[in-house]
């Protein structure tokens, strides 16, 4: 039976005000028929949903979310969807800013009167008049959202705020107009208008700072998006240059890039040369030389030269778009630790309301005289101080900053789980070709018995006619002039031959020389033996009588591989190398790179089996590869890392991609993971400790010991700052090394 095809989409979520809101939307989406998985990230206000389009649709998902009291942006066009969400966020931010400013301006005089001028005439009435617009106009959003939640039989942070401020306001209003009720019982009635208004002001200020901080965590995305130009210079078939919008560019179009311009799409240079700043891809500051046949990528910046290139990948297919998409998907994903936080957030609000009622009841029991007043204040303070937002922001903000920082340094992380996993890696398995080595055969030595321009061109002409990858390496080295070849013949397992100017020439291995009884001089034979011992492949060039030249070819180790291995070993990570190459070559490469363990002549399926063996030994294994043959091993590993210059399949399978293919970045990725996880733990610690200490104090736990009762105003300030402190701690990741 065929597995149903599912679609995975990101939907911006509107109207969420706290972590409990995100938990409710998450629960609502996961309950819908046809939804395989759904994950809601409060920090990014994004829902990632994988669903069966035959069973449900974006419209039905939106209806379900709207029923729960929120909204989902489902516009088919991604750009429109993104713009709609951004517009909504911008509108929300400005409205929040306006409400916060007015709330602070009105609440300050109330607080001043409450602290210093309660004896002045009509003080309580002035406080009432000033607090009323704060509570019912500027703070109306809390009451509206709380009512929505109540209708659906749920509660969130807004429920806590609405209950606490509403109770404080109504209690104060009762004391203002009916003071005799308390005076007759020997109790001096107090008003708490300053508490209700200052609480709303503090919470609004906290949310404003929170929104601003959450915006700062996505700077990497905005930076990446800003790398793409809006217009391009198109060369028409008539030879005219025309400026056009980037959206109109099609595959096969020829584009002109002037000095200092950003490259708009991916393609291949057809004319001209220059140096291009590819630091956004590789993290390396040195510009890369580009000439005919070189690949260029969207978002990179041309330096002084000018060139033309043919568009090969446009729109969402460019590397820049893929990077943006990967970063967005990753920032919207959840780390395993976040699942625990979500479960806590879902029961947090009901639990806090229960504690508030319990505190009120205990005060009534143990303090018959002032129990009602103090109990009411304790209940209000508990409702205020216990904010789940800090808890909800602890993980996603750190993840967003960590993944954004990775993207800026050329490390693409597909999901939060991978970022968390990297910290626990103790074993790394490296593919040889293209990972430890350059992955491209190059000529290292070239020896002639008697070099002439004609012989050089003949050798070049033979090799350029061959499809063998080693022949390409020789041709690239010679860069000669192609001559007409007659009777060209490919000799399987041996080499090639052809006739030039009536004379037959050969290019191939030693077996071909022996087959054709070609004479090799002693000095040339000795040189060939030495090169072979150095694990280099020798290609011979000869006429019908004697060997004329030899070329030594090898796949060179990347300049950075040895340094990268040393760095990883210093971090306590064990290194293995797997290759399908022969034992001698594998041993030579491993020795040169400083890799302690290796296996040679390994088939693709055996690579995955070897990783499984290591995992059965209790090791946490990361696989690093670049080819299609590595895809099974990448899928098997606890953490899969692809080299950015490798195959698309390897990159698709892998959870991390090193864009520059520089192995040193792996150590950076492990370090980033360690810092991110540490930041998450710090955030969670402070969020838990805050509630663990704050709630009992708010309930009045210290009163029997030292007579201390926490003010609702201080509770509101502490609650607001808890969320801000968590986000600020996450943002510190940007500066950590």
Q: Each residue of 248-262: pLDDT tens digit? A: 899 999 999 988 888
pLDDT at 315: 80
Measure the N-to-C terminal CA separation of the chain; round to a whole number of Å. Answer: 50
Residue 724 structure tokens: 């801000």
The Cα 431–Cα 579 span in angstroms is 6
pLDDT at 398: 82
Pairing of strands 411-413, 266-277: unpaired
- The dihedral over CA atoms of 376, 378, 381, 387, expressed in degrees to the nearest 10, equals -110
For residue 341, the number of C-alpha atoms closer than 13 Å in the C-beta half-sphere is: 27
Element (H, E) at 210: helix 193-216
For residue 128, the number of C-alpha atoms closer than 13 Å in the C-beta half-sphere is: 14
CB within 8 Å of 453: residues ≥ 6 apart: none
CB 632 within 8 A of CB 647: no
**Closest Cα partner for 642 from 175, 652, 213, 714?**
652
The Cα 390–Cα 398 span in angstroms is 12
The Cα 224–Cα 158 span in angstroms is 35
pLDDT at 284: 46
pLDDT at 15: 77
Residue 357 structure tokens: 């009622």
Single pTM value for the model: 0.58
**Closest Cα partner for 363 from 348, 391, 382?**
382
Q: Each residue of 369-424: pLDDT tens digit? A: 777 777 877 887 787 677 555 666 677 778 778 888 888 888 888 777 788 888 88
pLDDT at 413: 83
The structure tokens 């993207």 sit at 407
The Cα 349–Cα 156 span in angstroms is 6
CB 640 within 8 A of CB 661: no
Largest Cα–Cα distance in the chain?
Answer: 127
pLDDT at 495: 84
pLDDT at 210: 61
244: which strand partners? 232
Catalytic residue, candidates 158, 431, 626, 638: 431
**Closest Cα partner for 250 from 237, 265, 262?**
265
Blockwise average pLDDT, block size 10, the chain, 737 residues: 68 76 84 88 78 88 87 69 66 85 90 80 89 91 82 71 80 85 68 78 72 56 70 88 88 91 91 79 61 87 87 81 62 55 66 86 83 78 68 72 84 79 90 80 88 91 78 86 87 82 91 91 91 84 93 86 93 90 80 91 78 91 78 80 67 77 88 88 82 83 80 63 78 79
Decide if 431 is catalytic: yes
The Cα 414–Cα 655 span in angstroms is 5
The number of angstroms, rounded, from the C-alpha of 678 to the middle of its chain's C-alpha atoms is: 17
3-class DSSP state for residue 149?
Answer: helix
The Cα 611–Cα 638 span in angstroms is 9
pLDDT at 685: 84
pLDDT at 404: 83
624: which strand partners? 430, 641
3-class DSSP state for residue 729?
Answer: helix
The Cα 361–Cα 366 span in angstroms is 9
3-class DSSP state for residue 295?
Answer: strand
Q: Each residue of 346-365: pLDDT tens digit? A: 677 788 888 888 988 998 88
**Closest Cα partner for 657 from 267, 225, 314, 283?**
283
CB 735 within 8 A of CB 404: no
658: which strand partners? 411, 643
Q: What is the 3-state secondary structure (H, E, C) of 598-642?
A: EECCCCHHHHHHHHHHHHHCCCCEEEEECCHHHHHHHHHCCEEEE
Mean pLDDT of the chain: 81
- The dihedral over CA atoms of 374, 375, 379, 382, expressed in degrees to the nearest 10, equals 60
Q: Each residue of 255-314: pLDDT tens digit? A: 999 888 889 899 999 998 888 887 666 444 457 778 888 889 888 888 877 899 999 988
DSSP string across 566-589:
HHHHHTT-EEEEE-SS-HHHHHHH
Residue 311 structure tokens: 């568009």
Element (H, E) at 183: helix 180-183
Residue 334 structure tokens: 């959840």
Strands (DSSP E) contained in 67-181 are 71-72
Residue 283 φ/ψ, nearest 5 degrees = 80, -5
Q: Each residue of 88-117: pLDDT tens digit? A: 667 777 888 899 999 989 988 988 887 778
3-class DSSP state for residue 441?
Answer: coil
pLDDT at 415: 72
**Closest Cα partner for 672 from 613, 722, 629, 733?**
733
């Amino acid at each position: 039976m065929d597995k149903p095809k599912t679609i995975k989409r990101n939907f911006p979520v509107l109207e969420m005000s706290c972590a409990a809101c995100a938990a409710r939307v998450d629960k609502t989406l996961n309950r819908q028929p046809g939804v395989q998985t759904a994950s809601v990230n409060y920090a990014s206000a994004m829902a990632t949903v994988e669903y069966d389009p035959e069973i449900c649709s974006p419209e039905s998902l939106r209806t379900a979310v709207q029923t729960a009291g929120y909204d989902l942006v489902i516009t088919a066009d991604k750009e429109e969807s993104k713009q709609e969400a951004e517009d909504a966020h911008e509108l929300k931010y400005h409205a929040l800013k306006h409400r916060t400013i007015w709330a602070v301006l009105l609440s300050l005089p109330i607080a001043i009167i409450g602290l210093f001028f309660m004896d002045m005439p009509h003080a309580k009435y002035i406080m009432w008049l000033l607090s009323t617009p704060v509570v019912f106009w500027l703070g109306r959003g809390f009451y509206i959202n709380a009512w929505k939640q109540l209708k659906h039989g749920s509660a969130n942070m807004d429920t806590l705020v609405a209950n606490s401020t509403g109770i404080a306001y109504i209690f104060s209003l009762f004391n203002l107009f009916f003071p005799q009720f308390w005076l007759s019982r020997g109790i001096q009635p107090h008003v708490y208008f300053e508490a209700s208004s200052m609480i709303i002001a503090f919470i609004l200020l906290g949310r404003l700072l929170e929104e601003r901080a959450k915006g700062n965590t996505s700077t990497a995305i905005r930076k990446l998006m800003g790398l793409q130009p809006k217009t391009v210079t198109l060369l028409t078939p008539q030879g005219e240059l025309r400026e056009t919008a980037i959206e109109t560019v099609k595959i096969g179009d020829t584009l002109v890039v002037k000095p200092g311009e950003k490259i708009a799409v991916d393609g291949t240079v057809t004319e001209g040369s220059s140096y291009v700043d590819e630091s956004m891809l590789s993290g390396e500051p040195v510009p890369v030389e580009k000439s005919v046949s070189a690949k260029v990528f969207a978002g990179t910046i041309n330096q002084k030269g000018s060139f033309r290139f043919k568009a090969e990948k446009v729109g969402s297919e460019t590397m820049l778009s893929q990077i943006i998409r990967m970063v967005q998907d990753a920032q919207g994903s959840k780390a395993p630790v976040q699942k625990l936080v979500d479960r806590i957030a879902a029961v947090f609000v009901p639990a806090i309301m229960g504690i508030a009622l319990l505190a009120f009841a205990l005060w009534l029991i143990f303090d018959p005289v002032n129990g009602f007043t103090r109990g009411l204040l304790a209940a209000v303070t508990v409702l205020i101080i216990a904010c789940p937002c800090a808890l909800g922001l602890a993980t996603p903000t750190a993840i967003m900053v960590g993944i954004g920082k990775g993207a800026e340094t050329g490390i693409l992380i597909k999901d939060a789980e991978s970022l968390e996993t990297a910290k626990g890696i103790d074993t790394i398995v490296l593919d040889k070709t293209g990972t430890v080595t350059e992955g491209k055969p190059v000529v290292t030595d070239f020896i002639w018995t008697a070099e002439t321009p004609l012989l050089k061109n003949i050798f070049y002409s033979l090799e350029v006619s061959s499809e063998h990858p080693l022949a390409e390496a020789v041709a690239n080295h010679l860069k000669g002039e192609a001559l007409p070849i007659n009777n060209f013949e490919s000799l399987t397992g041996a080499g090639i031959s052809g006739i030039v100017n009536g004379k037959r020439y050969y290019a191939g291995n030693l077996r071909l020389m022996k087959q054709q009884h070609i004479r090799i001089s002693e000095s040339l034979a000795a040189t060939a033996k030495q090169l072979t011992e150095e694990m280099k492949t020798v290609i011979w060039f000869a006429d019908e009588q004697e060997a004329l030249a030899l070329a030594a070819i090898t796949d060179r180790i990347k300049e950075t591989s040895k340094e990268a291995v040393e760095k990883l070993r210093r971090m306590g990570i064990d290194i293995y190398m797997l290759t399908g190459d022969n034992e001698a070559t594998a041993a030579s490469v491993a020795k040169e790179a400083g890799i302690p363990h290796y296996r040679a002549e390994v088939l693709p399926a055996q690579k995955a089996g070897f990783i499984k063996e290591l995992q059965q030994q209790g090791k946490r294994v990361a696989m690093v590869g670049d080819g299609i043959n590595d895809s099974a091993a990448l899928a098997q590993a606890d953490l899969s890392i692809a080299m950015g210059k490798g195959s698309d399949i390897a990159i698709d399978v892998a959870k991390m991609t090193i864009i520059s293919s520089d192995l040193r970045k792996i150590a950076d990725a492990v370090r980033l993971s360690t810092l991110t996880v540490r930041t998450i733990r710090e955030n969670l610690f402070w969020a838990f400790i805050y509630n663990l200490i704050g709630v009992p104090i708010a309930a009045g736990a210290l009163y029997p010991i030292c007579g201390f009762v926490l003010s609702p105003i201080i509770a509101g300030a502490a609650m607001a700052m808890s969320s801000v402190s968590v986000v600020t701690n996450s943002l510190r990741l940007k500066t950590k090394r």
